[in-house]
Amino acid sequence: MNEKPTKEQILGIIAKYGKAKEQLLAILLDIQEVSGSNCVTEEWAQLVAKELDLPLSKVFDVLTFYAMFSIKPRGKYVIEICNSAPCYVSKSEEVAKIFQDILGIKMGETTPDGLFTLLYTSCIGACDQGPVAKIGDKVYGFLNKEKITGIINEYREVVSCQK
Ligand code: FES
């Protein structure tokens, strides 16, 4: 996993939005972005609640309501494999196995380099392209071993170019 931001960095993000309560979503997104673990930890949620003078429960409501947030560490790229009925029928289980074999992790786990987390998701509205997986906003359909290998390599290359 990447380095954890300092308390000063988190305070800087909160200050950038003028400690405005209505900016809660933007603040949490920014914190997640710099987290190095693609999540907003309880420690930071507490800090946000304190600085914005909000109940901690309100911050957690937001963090648990929106699927884009996580309170547990995740990889830089979260691979969500659809396992709703139409995709299941078109072999989402096989697809999950291929991802697990290539990445060397099980569903729900994160690769040791902090790059990928594997999760199941429900229908993402691309049933006609099943089996389907989603990474961020991108949807990948008609998955097979060759395509999956290409996708993983593509993301690894993006990261190595950023170094
Ligand atoms: S069931 Fe998988 S995208 Fe709809």
Sketch out the chain's domains with CATH numbers: 7-65 (no CATH), 77-162 (3.40.30.10)
Say what the pLDDT of residue 90 is. Answer: 83
127 lines ligand 1 (CB under 6 A): yes
Ligand 1 centre to CA of 79 (Å) is: 14
Owner of token pair 């996993």 = 1
143 lines ligand 1 (CB under 6 A): no
Q: Give the pLDDT confidence of 50-78 residue by residue, as tens digits.
A: 999 999 999 999 999 998 899 989 999 99
Q: What is the mean pLDDT of the chain?
A: 93
Query: Model confidence at 88, in pLDDT bands (50, 70, 90)?
Result: confident
* Cβ proximity of 14 and 27 under 8 Å: yes
Nearest to 136 by CA among 67, 85, 86, 83: 67
Q: Judge whether residue 82 has pLDDT over 80.
A: yes
Q: Which two tokens stand for residue 61?
A: 């409501």
Ligand 1 centre to CA of 38 (Å) is: 25
Q: Which two tokens stand for residue 13?
A: 């993000």
Query: Model confidence at 4, in pLDDT bands (50, 70, 90)?
Result: confident
